[in-house]
Amino acid sequence: MAYDKVYSAWKADPNGFWMQAAEAIDWIEKPTKALFDENAPLYEWFVDAKVNTCWNAVDRHVEAGRGDQIAIMHESPITHSTKGITYKELQARVASLAGALRMRGVEKGDRVIIYMPMIPEALEAMLACARLGAIHSVVFGGFAAHELAVRIDDCQPKAIIAASCGLEPNRVVHYKPLLDAAIDQASHKPEFCVIFQREQEVAKLVEGRDFSWHGFQYGVKPAECVPVEGNQPAYILYTSGTTGQPKGVVRSTAGHLVALHWSMKNIYNIEAGDRFWAASDVGWVVGHSYICYGPLLAGATTIVFEGKPVGTPHPGVFWRIIQNHRVKSFFTAPTALRAIRREDPTGEWIKRYKLHEMQALFLAGERADPDTVKWAQEHLGVPVIDHWWQTETGWAIAGNPLGIELLPVKVGSPTKPMPGYDVQVLDEGGHPLPAGELGSIAIKLPLPPGTLPTLWNAEARFKKSYLEHFPGYYETGDAGYIDEDGYLYIMARTDDVINVAGHRLSTGAMEEVLASHPDVAECAVIGVADALKGQSPLGFLCLNKGSTRSEADVVKECVKLVRDQIGPVAAFKTACVVDRLPKTRSGKILRGTMVKIADGEDFKMPATIDDPAILDEIAVALKKLGYPEK
Ligand code: COA
Ligand code: AMP
């Protein structure tokens, strides 16, 4: 079979495999080899090459005669607008923005934070950084000022590029006040900010610090593409770990280019001239890899969508866009399909549109539950392909490589490992488990090109978080099993990370916020099953002895605190007050057992539990909140 052949070819000669994939990239200086393993267990790829990302994503397509093809199609049902930008226009816009950034001193290696909604200018800002060899860090618009401040202090940007506002269906998100508050809170101060003023809200600029997007570029000399080394960081993307301090995932330039280019044809079956749509947000890894860089590297048209699967204005909006822009491969999160299915269970909206150019639907970001997959298969009539990956890897660890061959789909499985990934299921002692047995999923080192080489300014944390538990492996943080046919099943996280509407969130970060409330002595946050969002966070609060506050008031304040500190995206809406939390004798909170009670699942009484009676108290508190749900 074709997949087996490709996977075996990689296994037999990884260097040769990736050097061949590298031929698809326009190098300024070609790499002499693929893997650099001198600092194992830290690995790097194509280190001795010189290359520029923006050249490969934009300029080379103009040179190749694709200048008049649409590069970015912006669809905003919220503002009722549709607008296409050609590769030639994109090149001019990006070169101009890069020129203006350079005039203000942004150079190769400088960090630039981007805090923008789903508008083409967000991609232009990313590409302008790439053009200069500056390192961008995009922050998702659903995060509050505090989260932005944490990222400003960690990556110390020279500049911040933001928009005046974002648009959610029910409200305007005032980006500028959030940005100002974040800069106030942060110890590091950027030298300047560039603000894209949207007509829906014109923000007040701080004199001397803030420049408007257009004025800033007036009369500047466009910048050319700056060559960078293969291991130069292209970007930093922060993601949730177990604590309130997010992890700054670093993406190196050359490996990123090679892996994404390979994935576009081999996984998504997309080539130059095709139309590709990932309905995610530039603030997430899916947005980096498959709204911005992947489709542009391939010379395809990418769709930038500012809207929601339902309510903007109806549950047929995805299908309308797929029809109108003749989308060939479409990528979204299962939660989006669940939202659509809830409003259109019999697929009436799907029938209204001609979707014959869509060859497949790709799902990722969370477990694709079999019910949702089957519903999509039935109503769309195309392969529904689950694939599994993480911010850390930047592209699929396991999938069904449509461009190589479509393997038989097993609902509930993201299919098989992609070349570059030797995926194994390990027991607690780090020994590989036989087929069918549940364990920790780990990847034998080295990870392939495009994956993280380290965490930004936190090499020790990188080693501790990913490499130390299972020496010789990268620990994914996911648990699951491999069946007898080699199909992978991802079942749960092994840490305190939860997945809410395809968004990765840290319960530890929420606990840190709750613990800062003056009346809260102790707390725990768990992720409970949610029919729409997959999981939703639920808080347990133990109040200080002698606290005279009403429980309802404290809960209300705690909900507000999480929204103000982390942001609306945390979707933290429910908490209850309890006397005590269930713990082991050594004091570890039994969150896993609490989840099982909330979800109405059977559980074994933990042997190390300190006081089993507390579980009954938790069950009573949960019942009052309506858990387990009927
Ligand atoms: N900027 C500001 N706020 C944002 C935001 C953004 N970019 N994205 C989400 N939010 C806000 C929402 O408005 C909501 O606020 P509210 O509490 O005032 O209603 C809150 O964050 C929670 O958002 P979400 O969890 O997305 O819930 P929702 O009810 O707004 O929408 C879905 C539910 C299922 C329609 C939506 O989550 C969705 O489209 N999910 C797809 C997920 C996805 O693409 N994930 C990317 C990974 S592949
Ligand atoms: P993120 O880094 O935000 O992309 O989140 C990565 C995590 O989301 C993974 O570690 C998994 O826990 C989960 N995840 C992503 N894709 C899938 C999938 N296809 N199946 C199951 N879980 C997934």
Atom of ligand 2 lying closest to residue 387 CA: 19
Residue 481 has pLDDT above 90, yes or no: yes
Q: Ligand 2 mean position to 390 CA, how many Å? A: 5
Ligand number nearest CA of 315 is: 1
Q: How far is it, in rounded angstroms, from Cα 478 to Cα 497?
A: 10
Statement: residue 241 has pLDDT above 90: no
- The amino acid at 213: W
| Residue whose CA is at the smallest distance from ligand 2 atom 6 | 390
The answer to whether the CB of 559 is under 6 A from ligand 1 is no
Q: What are phi and psi of 181, to 5 degrees?
A: -65, -40
Please give the single-letter amino acid code of residue 541.
L
Percent of the chain exceeding pLDDT 90 equals 98
Ligand 2 centroid to 535 CA: how many Å?
13
* 533 CA from centroid of ligand 1 (Å): 10
| 584 CA from centroid of ligand 1 (Å) | 36
Identity of the residue numbered 61: H
Contact 457, 248 (CB under 8 A): yes
Q: Within a 13 Å sphere around the CA of 371, how many CA atoms are in the beta-carbon half?
A: 9
The answer to whether the CB of 332 falls within 8 A of the CB of 167 is: no
Q: Is the CB of 390 under 6 A from ligand 2?
A: yes
Instruction: Identify any residues that bridge with 482 across adjacent strands, giving them in sequence order.
Output: 488
Is any ligand 2 atom within 6 A of the Cβ of residue 517?
A: no
Using CA positions, which residue lies closest to atom 32 of ligand 1? 336
> Per-residue DSSP letters for 229-263?
ETTSEEEEEEE--SSSS-EEEEEEHHHHHHHHHHH
Instruction: Please indicate whether residue 325, judged by its CB atom, sits closer than 6 Å to ligand 2.
Output: no
For residue 340, CA distances in Å to 225, 347, 379, 581 come to 42, 9, 12, 38
Per-residue pLDDT at 244: 82
433 — pLDDT class (breaks 50, 70, 90): very high
Residue nearest to atom 19 of ligand 1 (CA): 568
Residue 629 binned pLDDT confidence (cut-offs 50, 70, 90): confident
Phi, psi for 507 (deg, rounded to 5): -70, -30
As to burial, measured by CB atoms within 10 angstroms (0-12 exposed, 13-18 middle, 19+ buried), residue 275 is buried
Average pLDDT, the chain: 97
Average pLDDT in the 243-250 region?
A: 92
Percentage above 70 pLDDT, the chain: 100
Mean pLDDT of 160-186: 97
Residue 441 Cβ contacting ligand 2 at under 6 Å: no
Q: Tell me, using a 6 A CB cutoff, whether residue 147 lines ligand 1.
A: no
Contact assessment for residue 269 and residue 285, using Cβ atoms and an 8 Å cutoff: no
Q: Which protein residue's CA is at the shortest distance from atom 23 of ligand 2?
A: 366
For residue 531, the tally of other CB atoms under 10 A from its CB is 10
Nearest CA to ligand 1 atom 13: 168
If you measure from the C-alpha of residue 51 to the centroid of ligand 2, how many angstroms do you get, rounded to a whole number?
30
Read off the pLDDT band of 243 (50, 70, 90).
confident
Global pTM value: 0.97
Span from the CA of 397 to the centroid of ligand 1 (angstroms): 25
Q: Among 490, 496, 497, 535, which residue has the most ligand 2 atoms within 8 Å of its CB, making it the best to mutate?
A: 490
CB 617 within 8 A of CB 552: no
The CA distance from 342 to 71, in Å, is 33
Query: Which is the closest atom of ligand 2 to the Cα of 391?
Result: 2
CA distance 582 to 614: 6
Residue located via tokens 């909170």 = 589
DSSP conformational letter for 604 = P
> Which ligand ends up closest to the CA of 395?
2
Over residues 255-297, the pLDDT tens digits come to 999 999 999 999 999 999 999 999 999 999 999 999 999 999 9
Q: What is the DSSP string of 122-169?
A: HHHHHHHHHHHT-EEEE--TTS-HHHHHHHHHHH--SEEEEESEEEET
Set out the domains of the chain in order of their start, with CATH numbers: 86-226 (3.40.50.980), 501-624 (3.30.300.30)
Residue 535's pLDDT is 97
Identify which ligand lies nearest to the alpha carbon of 396: 2
Dist CA 260 CA 279 (whole Å): 17
pLDDT value of position 531: 95
Q: Taking 80 as the threshold, does the pLDDT of residue 630 lie above it?
A: no
Secondary structure of residue 111 in the 3-state scheme: strand
pLDDT band at 96 (very low <50, low <70, confident <90, very high): very high
Task: Report which ligand 1 atom has the smallest distance to the Cα of 571.
Answer: 22
What is the CA(397)–ligand 2 centre distance, in A? Answer: 10
Would you say residue 563 has pLDDT above 80? yes
